[in-house]
């Protein structure tokens, strides 16, 4: 067919588009083989669960190093806060992100250390070691048995357990995302991961000549290009590759965009199908020229669409399996209606972030404290029946007293938290049942392995938010644990 009014259609760009989104996987493989390019479709792991960073303080300690290992194994992005890089490498290995900082020195908790955190796990503790000797001032007696006081090594309990924890809490409060929101894409922090997952999807796939691109700038992403109505076209868009596994946003009410546009009306699509040309759930939003605005989009307001036509009798979006996102500028609205704010030609939409909102508040700061912190000085306490940490609190610089003050600084911060008070920590293998209590009367022991597992689990349990509890190991092995049920038995702090 010949038509002097038709613009030149770009076959090569058509093939590149289909190849990028693996519609023609064989061509994609051949292209990589010929050009020697690495495969660039590395999807965000775990449905984006690890978009933000989990900051682990005390990462080289007995609990901390185990927390780091578990988080890494489960696909989280982990940043380990350490004092000595070389020492930390020997403990944690070469594949762990390390930052040098000291919680007792707030000036070291810099924006680089705290950037993009979604939660903090604090396992810091003063070092206590047994010392043998015969000097009278260190010799003590308990029930007629002579023993020697252990010694604090390095910083004092006040500096670490209270002031250090307080410093970390105050720093984290400035960087943690708003409670109830989940950061899906943070374009203020460009990365290869973000660059490789977004690609242009323009009307070239339908014979049009519009062209767009998606650039990651210093603090934003830029969706820009030129929309042409030639060849019956009229849309430009950028879309993510399919996520494996998909995002699970079932606990949220909707998504929120932070954008600066040019005054035109754009669309966002969320897809639950991994097919190339399936139903997309769409929402149209207006921009204000050269002005940053937040666009909250309720899942209930999304319109099921197939090729710009509303799909009747389509079920609501399944928010537990969001497979891809798409942003679009189109001359069409739905069912043949025109976009009233569309202008052909150049366009630009800056995007700072995409978040889910309306979710339950998950713990954002997990503090490993100690059972017994309220017992020193409590009326009616028989010290002879208490564990060594309680009996020796005064001689050890008030270690439990300062731990309690550290807890209080977290409780008053407004950050959703979980405070774990383990009984005596051991190097045993773990795997025992967990016994929780509240009220600080529990005695017993528990493996550091199990406490590390507990730290990881509370990050995903809203029923653990704003709870303080003591924990010890039971006698029986734990074959399977219903974490939600276990935490739901705990009462929130008053």
Query: Does the pLDDT of residue 245 top 70, yes or no?
Result: yes
Q: Pairing state of beta strands 235-240 and 324-330?
A: antiparallel
In a domain, 234, yes or no: yes
Same domain as 340, residue 221: yes
Based on the structure, what is the number of domains in the chain?
A: 2
Percent share of the chain, pLDDT over 90: 64
pLDDT given for residue 182 in this prediction:
85
Same domain, 52 and 105: yes
Q: What is the pLDDT of residues 9-34, one digit of tens each?
A: 777 767 777 666 666 544 444 444 44
Per-residue pLDDT of 299-318, as tens digits, reads 999 999 998 899 999 999 99
Residue 1, pLDDT score: 41
Q: What is the pLDDT of residue 75?
A: 86
* Residue 483 within any structural domain of the chain: yes
- Average pLDDT score, the chain: 86
Q: Is residue 429 part of a domain?
A: yes
Clarify whether residues 260 and 333 are in a common domain.
yes
State pLDDT tens for residues 435-462. Answer: 999 999 999 999 999 999 999 999 989 9
Ramachandran assignment for 321, one of left (phi > 0), alpha (psi -120 to 50 degrees), beta (any other): beta
The string of pLDDT tens digits covering residues 246-267 is 888 988 999 999 999 999 999 9
pLDDT over threshold 90, residue 40: no
pLDDT band at 240 (very low <50, low <70, confident <90, very high): very high
Residue pLDDT, tens place only, 212-239: 999 999 889 999 999 999 988 899 999 9
Which of 200, 276, 272, 274 is CA-nearest to residue 238? 200
DSSP assignment of 380-444: T--GGGS-HHHHTTTTTTSHHHHHHHHHHHHHTT---EEEEEESEEE-S---EEEEEESSS----
Q: What is the largest CA-CA distance in the chain?
A: 107
Rounded to an integer, the average pLDDT of 390-397 is: 87
Per-residue confidence (pLDDT) for residue 194, from 0 to 100: 83
> Which of 394, 13, 61 minimizes the C-alpha distance to 207?
13
Q: Does residue 300 sit within a domain? A: yes
User: Do residue 197 and residue 326 come from a single domain?
Assistant: yes
CB neighbour class for 366 (10 Å; exposed up to 12, middle 13-18, buried from 19): buried
pLDDT of 428 above 90 = yes
Q: Quick one: 422 and 302 in the same domain?
A: no
Same structural domain, 416 and 480: yes
Q: For position 340, what pLDDT does the model report? A: 95
Lowest mean pLDDT among 148-152, 192-196, 377-381: 148-152
pLDDT one-digit tens code per residue, 456-491: 999 989 999 999 999 999 998 988 888 988 999 999
End position of a domain, from candidates 315, 334, 357: 357
Domain-embedded: residue 11: no
> Within this chain, do residues 242 and 175 fall inside the same structural domain, yes or no?
no
My answer on whether 123 and 218 are in the same domain is no
Mean pLDDT on 77-106: 94
Statement to judge: residues 281 and 207 lie in one domain: yes
Q: Mind listing the pLDDT tens digit for each residue in 122-131? A: 999 876 655 5
In a domain, 19, yes or no: no
Domain end call among 308, 342, 357: 357
SS3 category, 155:
coil
CB–CB of 168/109 below 8 Å? yes
Q: What is the pLDDT of residue 3?
A: 46
**Are 351 and 203 in a shared domain?**
yes
* 281: pLDDT strictly greater than 60: yes
Q: How far apart are CA 124 and CA 405, in angstroms?
A: 14
CATH number for the domain spanning 270: value is 2.60.120.430
CATH of residue 162: 3.40.50.720
- β-strands 97-100, 77-82 pairing: parallel
Check residue 48 and give its pLDDT: 40
The residue from 323, 357, 391 where one domain ends is: 357
Whole-number pLDDT of residue 134: 43
| Residue 31 resides in a domain | no
Is 195 found in the same domain as 160? no
Position 43 confidence tier, pLDDT thresholds 50, 70, 90? very low
Pick from 105-119, 155-169, 174-188, 286-300: least confident:
174-188
| pLDDT of amino acid 22 | 66
What confidence category does residue 383 fall into, taking pLDDT thresholds of 50, 70 and 90? confident
Domain boundaries, position 222 = 184-357
Stretch 181-207: mean pLDDT, rounded? Answer: 87
**38 assigned to some structural domain:** no
């Amino acid at each position: 067919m010949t038509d002097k009014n038709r613009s030149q259609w770009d076959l090569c760009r058509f093939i590149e588009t289909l190849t990028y989104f693996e519609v023609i996987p064989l061509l994609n493989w051949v292209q990589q083989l010929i050009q020697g390019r690495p495969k660039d479709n590395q999807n965000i792991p775990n449905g984006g669960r690890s978009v933000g960073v989990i900051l682990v303080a005390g990462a080289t300690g007995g609990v901390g190093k185990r927390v780091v290992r578990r988080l890494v194994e489960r696909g989280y992005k982990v940043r380990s806060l350490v004092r000595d890089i070389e020492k930390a490498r020997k403990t944690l290995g070469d594949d762990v992100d390390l930052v040098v900082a000291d919680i007792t020195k707030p000036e070291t908790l810099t924006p680089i250390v705290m950037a993009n955190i979604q939660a903090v796990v604090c396992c810091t503790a003063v070092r206590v070691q047994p010392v043998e000797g015969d000097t009278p001032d260190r010799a003590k007696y308990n029930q007629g048995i002579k023993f020697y006081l252990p010694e604090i090594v390095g910083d004092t309990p006040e500096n670490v357990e209270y002031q250090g924890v307080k410093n970390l809490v105050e720093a984290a409060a400035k960087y943690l995302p708003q409670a109830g929101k989940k950061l899906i894409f943070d374009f203020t922090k460009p990365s290869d991961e973000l660059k490789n997952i977004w690609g242009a999807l323009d009307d070239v796939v339908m014979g049009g000549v519009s062209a767009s691109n998606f650039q990651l700038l210093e603090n934003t992403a830029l969706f820009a290009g030129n929309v042409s109505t030639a060849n019956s076209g009229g849309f430009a868009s950028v879309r993510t590759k399919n996520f494996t596994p998909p995002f699970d946003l079932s606990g949220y009410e909707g998504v929120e965009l932070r954008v600066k546009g040019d005054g035109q009306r754009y669309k966002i699509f969320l897809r639950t199908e991994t097919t190339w040309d399936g139903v997309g759930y769409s929402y149209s939003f207006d921009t204000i020229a050269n002005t940053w605005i937040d666009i909250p989009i309720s899942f209930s307001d999304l319109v099921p669409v197939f090729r710009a036509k509303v799909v009747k009798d389509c079920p609501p979006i399944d928010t537990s399996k969001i497979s891809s996102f798409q942003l679009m500028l189109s001359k069409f609205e739905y069912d043949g209606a025109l976009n009233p704010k569309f202008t052909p030609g150049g366009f630009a939409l800056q995007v700072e972030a995409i978040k889910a909102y309306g979710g339950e508040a998950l713990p954002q700061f997990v503090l490993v404290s100690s059972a017994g912190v309220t017992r020193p000085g409590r009326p009616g306490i028989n010290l002879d029946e208490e564990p060594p940490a309680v009996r020796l609190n005064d001689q050890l610089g008030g270690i439990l007293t300062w731990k309690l003050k550290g807890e209080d600084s977290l409780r008053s911060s407004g950050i959703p938290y979980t405070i774990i008070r383990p009984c005596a920590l051991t190097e045993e293998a773990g795997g025992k049942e967990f016994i929780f209590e509240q009220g600080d009367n529990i005695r017993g022991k528990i493996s550091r392995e199990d406490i590390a597992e507990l730290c990881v689990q509370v990050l995903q349990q809203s029923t653990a938010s704003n709870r303080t509890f003591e924990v010890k190991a039971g006698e029986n092995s734990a074959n399977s644990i219903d974490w939600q049920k276990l935490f739901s038995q705990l009462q929130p702090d008053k």
